[in-house]
Structure 1
Amino acid sequence: MNIIELIATISAWIVIGWLTNFLYTKQEVRPTLWKVLLIIFIGFFTFSINWQMFNSYIKIPILPLGVWILYAVFKNKSKKWELYRPFAWLGFYANFIFLIALLLALPFNHFIYPESEFETYISNIENASVVNIHPSAKDSSLDKERLKKQTPFLSDELVQSHEWYLEMELNKHSKKVVERFPYQLIGFSTKWGSGLKTVVYLEKDGKGILISTKNKQLYFRSEHSLIKGGN
């Protein structure tokens, strides 16, 4: 969860809290507060479908399972059901409050943390370095100054996974095994507040950068090698 999604979630909880207080103070006979919170929690359960938008999965509530469960519990206790029913439905509609908050946050999230920009995934490289993760790698170090200069010119290209796989298959019986990405970048940080968890690999020529996130992979290509001593 990044900072934008966190703000959206907190805002949704504030709205739910305000609605809970509004319904509670409106009741002529006020139920026990912890029971109200429990009813809202149970009402929150729904049958939902997942929908992908901007590489984020959002849940769209369809059936109020929690409300149905509570109705079954209180069907022979009409007075209690009348007392708790608004809070049960509040639990169900709370799903839509979170949904609306997330939908409002997505455009801001996409604008502040562009998914195709290198700086979103690798922002601070002051403590960055490269480590060898394959025997074919040579002793090398990260050229930080060149990386800083190249960053605005790095271009996002399609991950050639099929071609890379064929190349690996053709060379797997070779006595000299050469790994396409024998280096890993460590010690860097992503853009502040993005909440991204990334693993970054450098190509053997030092020009290609493969970024793996939870949802996808991105490949960036530099005009010049970003490592020293590795060519």
Structure 2
Amino acid sequence: MDQLRTDDPKAPAGDFTLSDDPFALFSTWMRDAEAAEPEDPNAMALATAGSDGLPDVRMVLLKGFDAHGFVFYTNVQSAKGEELARNPQAALVLHWKSLRRQIRARGPVTPVTPEEADAYFESRRRESRLGAIASQQSRPLADRATLMATVTELASRYEDGPIPRPEHWTGFRISPVSLEFWQNGDYRLHDRVRFTRAGDGWSRSRLYP
């Protein structure tokens, strides 16, 4: 069977035999990252297309994944929310410097269900839920004091009671049509393996570095 390199001294020990399921491999690499990365192993660069046709990219946090795709949450009135409303396609990159690994994916984007969004919103810290309501993400802000005053007002309004998920805050799922796994190699002889959606399954090919 095809294998990714294991002779990189910084790569974690283990069996990197590739299966025919890219999400199984993603799960393995994510577990390695959670054990090795000191900060936000689920941080990923998310690229969308702006109304001017130019690409736009920012860091977001991956909050869930399964065979259907990769989920993140945001304010739909933000720049990325508005861009996805116009052009519901995106690309992502996760890069783990300590492991010298990278994963790229791209595909169409769809909203998560209201039930999924409600469940995740409820799981967040209370302060984060208040912040999600207070922030008019991507819009001009006169000063930080204005934002903090809004947070204080909301904290007083809700006190210890439930904080409802605002309608402008939800999640999106990127359903990849391709997934590429990259492992650093000596002398820039890296390993690259791409999975491409083929009907209900995946095809796999190795790429030159």
Does TM-score exceed 0.5, indicating one fold?
Answer: no
For Structure 1 versus Structure 2, the TM-score category normalised by the shorter chain is: under 0.3
**Structure in which a larger fraction of residues adopt strand:** 2
**What is the TM-score with the length of structure 1 in the denominator?**
0.18
For the pair shown, which has the larger CA radius of gyration, 1 or 2?
Answer: 1
**Structure in which a larger fraction of residues adopt helix:** 1
